[in-house]
Amino acid sequence: MTKTLWRLIGGMGIMIAVLYIQLFISHSQVGEEVMNTTPDRHIQIVCPDDDIIPDVDTYFNRQFQAGAQAAAAQYNIFAEFIARPSFDETFLTEAVEKGIYADVDGIAFSSDDSLAVGRLLTLARANNCEMLLYESENNQESNIPLVGTNSYNVGIQAGLLALEAAGQTPCKAVLIMDKSSASGTTTYRNMKMQGIVGQFSNTAGAEIVETFTLDSDMFAAERVYNAVISSQKNFNTIICLHESSTPIIAQRLIDNGLVGKINLIGYGAQTQTLDYIGRGVVYGTICPDAYAVGYNVVRLMAERFGGVNVGDYAATDLFTITRDSLSSFYAMQEGEGNGS
């Protein structure tokens, strides 16, 4: 009996020893995996804060971050996203400065303030920090890689949708755009406008009758809509080239019984905007390939770290979405697995 007991105790001891060894090996392997996947570089990407405008699902920001994360995993880079808490350029400048002084290897952001970009570039170079812009064509500095859509093409596609929506009726359009930075030029804004005008020039009677700009706050779309409706100009189309304002303008058209009387061309692919397209409130929208923008931001940054001359500009595609192409856009998003 005693021998049997001792045998049982001895067997249990061996089992415990084996389990301990296996646990130690497993722990060592996990630790080794963590060490092997330690990021080579740390970059910061300043993004809009979706909470600025309540209940608005920003497609661009969501898909942009998904693309950046995919590239970060591929190139072994830690991509940290910094929420920009305000439309004010001052907050953006402070966020970028903090990143540079925190000794990150690179920083990416979007800005139309050419003077601020110039100052930040000088600071970044002094601190050996790579700098990259995205969706910022109002850039007058050389040697800064730029990723994004072509503004003139945005205007061309917006004008084409407006003409399609108007049909046989001459298109009389009101244009709603971002307010250009006071310290920068209006190149970015004017390229979009020139694209629309270029598209309209081939159609008799088509014109932009008035242009409104959005101020930098969450109630800007409401104020601009009121100004548009109060306008003495004769118009049958609104072209809103601002993502988060598009669903707000659409809802106001519903509230005022103007659906079917005024055509709305929007920008971006927020959930609300796509829903309004399906319901016939928004005729169509122009949407940047936000996933590709985010992916290329990190990819170009990685190539810069490797000493590759990446050039000054990486263009990304545009989508135009109407009720007829809505289902194919949803299918494409699901097929690519870019997030939802």
Question: pLDDT tens across 240-284, in order?
Answer: 998 888 999 999 999 999 999 999 999 999 899 999 999 999 999
Same domain, 84 and 95: yes
> Does some domain include residue 300?
yes
Q: Are 116 and 204 in a shared domain?
A: no
In a domain, 123, yes or no: yes
Tokens 């118009």 sit on residue: 235
Residue 325 lies in a domain: no
pLDDT above 60 (res 143): yes
Residues 237 and 310 in one domain: no
Range of the domain at 131: 41-149+290-317
pLDDT > 90 fraction of the chain, expressed in percent and rounded: 51
Q: What is the average pLDDT score of the chain?
A: 82
Q: For residue 198, tell me if it sits in a domain.
A: yes
Q: 185 and 83 in one domain?
A: no
Average pLDDT for residues 225-245, to the nearest whole number?
90
Q: 245 with 303, same domain? A: no
Q: What local confidence, expressed as pLDDT, does residue 179 receive?
A: 67
Number of domains making up the chain: 2
**Which residues touch 29 (CB under 8 Å, ≥6 apart)?**
none
Do 266 and 173 fall into the same domain? yes
Residue range 118-137, pLDDT digits in tens: 899 999 999 999 999 998 76
Query: Are 73 and 129 members of one domain?
Result: yes
Token pair of 300 as six digits: 């170009």
